Structure 1
Amino acid sequence: MTGESAPLRAPARPFAPDRLLAALRGAALLLAAGAVPMVVRLPWIGDMGVHAATVERLRHDLFHPGNPMVDSPTDSPYYSPWTVGLAVFAKATGLDTFDVLRCAAVVGLVVLVTGVRRFVRTLSTHPAAPLLAVLCLLLLWGVRPFVWSGFLGLTSLSANASYPSTFATGLGFHLLALLARVLRRPGGAGFAPYAGLGLLWAVLMLSHQFTGVVLTFGVLGVLVAAPGRPTRAGALRIATALAVGLAVLALWPYYSFFALLGTDGLEEIHQPLYRHALARFTLVPLGLLALAARFRRDRRDPLVVWFLLGLLTVGAGAVLDKWSLGRTEPAIVMPAQLAAALCVLDRGARRLRGAFAVVLTAALAVGLWAQRDALTFVLRGDALPRAVAGDAWKVWQPVGWAMRDAAYGDVFMTGDRRAACTLPAYGGYTVAAGYPDFFLPDERRRAVDTARYFAPGTPRAERLAVLRRYHVRWVLQRPSRGGLPAGDPALREVRRGPDGRVLYEVLDRGRPPAGAVRRAPVSGPR
């Protein structure tokens, strides 16, 4: 916010031996080697279904994709610049959705690593700093690993590499680095660089909203740490960036960004973020010591400001029972992890440096062992070491086989949530969405109708009415889960899956919806 030419903060002078750099490079290469089979395998877990379905809808209709999970012409916040770009790439290359997501995982990881490297370079010139920072971001968590979008633990990232949150986090680090460099320019920068920063911020916010908030706290930290006093010219440049960003958010055609601010129903699904905090963040307090050392030297340190903003937000969520604010926990964790990495290499923390290096090394080893279950997403079950097999995550069995007889856009009735999560990834629709969807006005009714269809004692006429209401063509279920019996004349058994599910064709579907068109056959893997 000033035109002075002084750097944002004087970088620490390097002192560590070359042996440290070689060790860090070896660890980084080992992790990179593990990422290769993970990208190839593309593990089915968590939100993979909705992200694959989003790309699938956009590749079939780039301008009017409709809801990604159910047959409804509603908007969706999943239609972001990132997923639109993936769909354009899919159209241009002819790759199927899952190969596109493999490419997305590679790009997301590259953007993340290069973003961390560029931002850390604004804080330290030591050649080992970026590598150590990446290791801390991956391993300095807790003894109880978990998987959640926007959290960079090794286990979580192994499952989420292809998700928008990984790309958005990397993009946010690039934004922090660019902002720090713009603030250092002699005499200040013109308005064009700030307009570009505003555009980048809008892409970040549209791509993954919670990650956008987390990195916005980092942006505020960089601004607070800017040298000199704020000037009117600097304020105008920041206002320009903000105006450009808000304009892009307002004009984004795929969904209303500002409608998200009034969204209800997020609290229950995010309440687990406030449970077992000690087990999930056991190693993070080590970074708090490093942050305290930085705070003693500089009350406007960017990592300290970033951390405090995150702490206030997460704390407000706990006090106000706004559990969705727990999604900003990375704003507490990431600055602490980065501070821990820099503390080992920083001459300014001379008293802490020696002992801290030993403790940090031990903590990283503990973190690596604690997250050994990341191998679940790299190796098949029978190839897992005995020490991992007992803690392995259960990777889903996708139901692409059920689409062999279906056409793109056919509607399925299923009471199995995992089937509802995976079917749209292959081109089908389900009656009830497998994931919460606050842009879907009849979401509750769809869930109730699905439950009624499979509930014991529901009259046959009511079940048929539900199938007709949503123009269901296929029923996918396990025989013991209720619904119309196997011998009902309205159903015809088509095939049985490897997981015990049975696919039935609905013979009594009623009239097709007005204006219905013949849908293209499904392509891609089964």
Structure 2
Amino acid sequence: MLFSVAVAVRQPWGADFGLHAAVVGRLRDDLWQPANPMVEVISPSPYFTPYTLLLAVIAKVTGLGPATVLSAAGPANLALLLFGLRRFVGLFTTNRWAPVLALLFVPLLWGPAVPQWSGFPALRGLVLILPYPSTLAFGLMLLCWVAVAGALRTASWRRWLVAGLLGGLVILIHPFTAVGTVLGVVAFVVGRLTRLRRPDLVGMLVGAAAALVPVFGWPYFRVTDTLASASELDAIHEALYLDAAGRYGLAFLVGVPALVLRLRRDRLDPLVLLFGLSGAVVLAGWLTGAYAFGRVWPVVVLSLQVAAAVVLATVVAAAFGRRPAESPAPSDPAGVAGPDAAGPAPRRPGSGSRLLVGLWAAVAAVACLAGFATQYGNLLLVLPADQLTAPRRAAHDVTNLPNFGWVDRAVAPGSVVLTGNAPAGRALLAFEIRSVAPPWPDPLLADEDRRLAEQAELVDAATPDPRRRALLTAYGVDWILDLDGSYGWADGYASTVVEGPGKSRLLKVAQPR
């Protein structure tokens, strides 16, 4: 937690940070009719969520900037994620070492080509995404599953109400995580289908209503519109299917034996069902080209990681001299029966079994070390900028983050900057600087395609002068950002030039007389 505070102070956030900071800024400026966070137009946006709304209110009350408030939320998100993980693991065992193993496995058991995406809690990426909505949503997802397990155990409609409210929040905050949340709920419910009673069914209806009422009553965007446009995001997610072994292989290496053991014990084990359901969704995305379903990979990996933590903690305790804290009995597939439900402790395994357990534990330890060795680099982002030199970054494989502080010093918040470089446009959003076309896909922006086409016209040297001037005026362009000196045409429109690092420069557009 102290490390997360240090990271929040340094603010070495990933590319999405600018977008979420811009969202907070727009909501702070107008809670009732906020403008689009990326461009100068009023439109619905799927980024206006309960999370960013809360941060906007905090920013408005405190007077703090959006980037500061969003950064400060990072440690809180991490605390919620860790709490949710502890409670989730506790559904399957009371062994005190299982949560410790899960704390290691979840960030480390991925692969050498680990993805740095929001919603993927791998160590390398987690350092960069702590303040993101996806991190909060991941923690809420775990707590939603815990609430569902408790509701199935007690037939309490109040717990279903809590589960529904948590699920509704996840849907609004991060729809991709919501898909995994639903799969987890199904996994727990399927395990008890033959024993559901009327109070359970009533509770499920209460939970569904608690989730859907706020979702369909949310004033900033319609969830149905977001779902209908999901296919527009397939292309950007295809990378999640490339080199699957390199991205997720360590989780499979350590976790598959654990799932096999749980499957042999109970065919309706919730972790096994979660793995199967989420794996089926990921596979369907690969077969159909609906690559946005690749965002369910974290749930596939999580089921492997948690199963490995639970089973390894139990079998190691049994093999090497201590009575294990039992996992819940097969008769309670919701995983909430408690340690005594599993019956008597297993007998001490023979030397051959102990050898296999020791080998498995050794493989898990080596896998964790390998995961740390390939992911630790971004931990160095807490160092002062002058100590994180280019050679040190290269030696430790630290993610290179763009630095546009020089642009922020020259450009006022709310200005429109023209650049054909999408990563630059994404970074500038953190300073509340807008673009001509959205640098991130925005499925609810009606004129997104036209904006992209006309932005390409603006930066094309062959565009006739009258056409370019008309577009500059139409979009209210205040500045032109030339990153490599290739915008020679921009000199004819500039009244002021600000030199940046290397060949980059910032040109203030002269106002027409």
Identify the TM-score tier after normalising by the shorter chain.
0.7 to 0.9
TM-superposed CA distance for 1:236, in Å, is 2.0
TM-superposed CA distance for 1:508, in Å, is 3.2
Q: Are 2:95 and 1:129 aligned?
A: no
- 1:36-77 alpha-carbon deviations (Å, 9 max, x no partner): 432222224321111111111111112211210000111111
SS in 1 for 2:467: helix
Using a 3 Å threshold, how does the CA distance of structure 1 residues 88 and 51 change in structure 2: closer, same or farther?
same
TM-superposed CA distance for 1:353, in Å, is 3.7
Hey, what does 2:281 align to over in structure 1?
A: 313
Hey, what does 2:144 align to over in structure 1?
A: 175
SS in 2 for 1:197: helix
Q: What is the total number of aligned residue pairs between the two structures?
A: 474
My pick for the range that moved more, 385-394 or 154-163, is 385-394
From 227, 231, 239, the counterpart of 2:205: 239
From 347, 351, 354, the counterpart of 2:358: 354
TM-superposed CA distance for 1:400, in Å, is 4.2
Q: Are 2:87 and 1:118 aligned?
A: yes
From 219, 222, 232, the counterpart of 2:188: 222
From 353, 365, 372, the counterpart of 1:368: 372
Structure 2 Cα separation of the partners of residues 484 and 128 of structure 1 = 64
- Structure 2: which amino acid aligns with 1:501? S
SS in 1 for 2:207: helix
TM-superposed CA distance for 1:389, in Å, is 2.6
TM-superposed CA distance for 1:33, in Å, is 5.0
Q: Which runs of 5+ in 2 are unaligned?
A: 315-323, 327-345
Hey, what does 2:467 align to over in structure 1?
A: 462
Using a 3 Å threshold, how does the CA distance of structure 1 residues 61 and 279 change in structure 2: closer, same or farther?
same
Q: Are 2:481 and 1:476 aligned?
A: yes
Using a 3 Å threshold, how does the CA distance of structure 1 residues 259 and 133 change in structure 2: closer, same or farther?
same
Hey, what does 2:333 align to over in structure 1?
A: none
- 1:433-485 alpha-carbon deviations (Å, 9 max, x no partner): 11111111111211111111221222111111110111212222246222634
Structure 2 Cα separation of the partners of residues 386 and 372 of structure 1 = 16
Using a 3 Å threshold, how does the CA distance of structure 1 residues 453 and 97 change in structure 2: closer, same or farther?
same
Q: How does 1:67-216 map to 2 (within 5 A)?
A: 67-185=36-154, 188-189=155-156, 191-216=157-182
Structure 1 Cα separation of the partners of residues 433 and 391 of structure 2 = 38
Hey, what does 1:421 align to over in structure 2?
A: 426
Alpha-carbon contact 1:306-1:332 (below 8 Å) kept: yes
TM-score under structure 1 normalisation? 0.85
Alpha-carbon contact 1:455-1:483 (below 8 Å) kept: no
SS in 2 for 1:68: coil
My pick for the range that moved more, 453-462 or 150-159, is 453-462
- Structure 1: which amino acid aligns with 2:125? S
Using a 3 Å threshold, how does the CA distance of structure 1 residues 89 and 138 change in structure 2: closer, same or farther?
same
TM-superposed CA distance for 1:498, in Å, is 3.5
Structure 1 Cα separation of the partners of residues 463 and 277 of structure 2 = 52
Using a 3 Å threshold, how does the CA distance of structure 1 residues 315 and 500 change in structure 2: closer, same or farther?
same
TM-superposed CA distance for 1:428, in Å, is 2.2
Q: Are 2:498 and 1:495 aligned?
A: yes
Q: Which runs of 5+ in 1 are unaligned?
A: 1-31, 511-526
Structure 2 Cα separation of the partners of residues 407 and 222 of structure 1 = 51
Using a 3 Å threshold, how does the CA distance of structure 1 residues 299 and 163 change in structure 2: closer, same or farther?
same
Provide the alpha-carbon RMSD of the alignment. Answer: 2.2
Structure 2 Cα separation of the partners of residues 485 and 152 of structure 1 = 42
Hey, what does 2:338 align to over in structure 1?
A: none
Hey, what does 1:504 align to over in structure 2?
A: 507
Hey, what does 2:216 align to over in structure 1?
A: 250
Structure 2 Cα separation of the partners of residues 33 and 468 of structure 1 = 48
Structure 2 Cα separation of the partners of residues 274 and 316 of structure 1 = 12
SS in 2 for 1:282: helix
Structure 2 Cα separation of the partners of residues 162 and 484 of structure 1 = 39
Using a 3 Å threshold, how does the CA distance of structure 1 residues 363 and 253 change in structure 2: closer, same or farther?
same
From 375, 382, 385, the counterpart of 1:378: 382
Alpha-carbon contact 1:150-1:169 (below 8 Å) kept: yes
- 1:378-420 alpha-carbon deviations (Å, 9 max, x no partner): 3347447978634524433343443445443222212222321
